[in-house]
A and B are shown apart, each in its own frame.
Chain A
Amino acid sequence: GENVEQHPSTLSVQEGDSAVIKCTYSDSASNYFPWYKQELGKRPQLIIDIRSNVGEKKDQRIAVTLNKTAKHFSLHITETQPEDSAVYFCAASKDYGQNFVFGPGTRLSVLP
């Protein structure tokens, strides 16, 4: 079955710097890759997603890149702010939304 790895497990950056989180997946049939943000004590929420027919997607300070050949995708956050501090989960899915497998998460701390 699908296996999703995520690195780093923890990441600390200074406010205003960029943060990059990388995920790799094992199943070449996966075609949908969302990123979820979970603030302390709250439920996960989708922040951005990408489908296998595109290589990059951007939404304001957040971007995701996908390399299907290498089977990895990355989350890029620019101009980080303290409110970006949270745990970020990547996921991979086949059949556009079925069979979700989540990565173990990255705890991002943005230091003021």
Chain B
Amino acid sequence: GAGVSQSPSNKVTEKGKDVELRCDPISGHTALYWYRQSLGQGLEFLIYFQGNSAPDKSGLPSDRFSAERTGGSVSTLTIQRTQQEDSAVYLCASSSMWFDSSYEQYFGPGTRLTVT
């Protein structure tokens, strides 16, 4: 079946502009995660959605970052007033979260954001 998809694959924006990054998780996956990965660095947790529960926003680096998940499926990560330090690859992942099944996170291909 289809994996996790993200769009756009690349985004170049000017400093101060707003951007929206989209994630389509695997159908039926209740958990959705957003991570940020700077060049050569690790995976920085941003936000986590699980079903209808309130999202875990503890990883969002500032109030310029927000995310929503509509209908328990598609998610959008919004960065307002982008700064150069926001340049990174933004990865989305989903998992099924059923007890006794795999908790594997399936990652999307990422969106490479460049702020000029």
Interface residues of A (CB under 8 A from B): 1, 32, 34, 36, 43-46, 49, 89, 93, 96-105
Contacts and interface: CB of A to CB of B under 8 A. Distances in A.
B107 A32 contact: no
Given A46-B105, A49-B104, A102 B43 contact: yes
Contacts of B109: 43
A45 B107 contact: yes
Contact of A105 (B33, B42, B91, B107): B42
20 contacts: A1-B58, A32-B103, A43-B107, A43-B108, A44-B91, A46-B102, A46-B104, A46-B105, A89-B43, A93-B103, A96-B103, A97-B97, A98-B48, A99-B48, A100-B48, A101-B45, A102-B35, A102-B42, A103-B42, A105-B41
Contacts of B35: 102
Contacts of B50: 98
A99 B56 contact: yes
Contacts, number: 52
- For the residues of A in contact with B, the DSSP-based class is strand
A112 B45 CA distance: 35
A49 B104 CA distance: 8
B25 interface: no
Contacts of A46: 102, 104-105
B42 A34 contact: no
Contacts of A99: 48, 56
B111 to A, nearest CB: 12
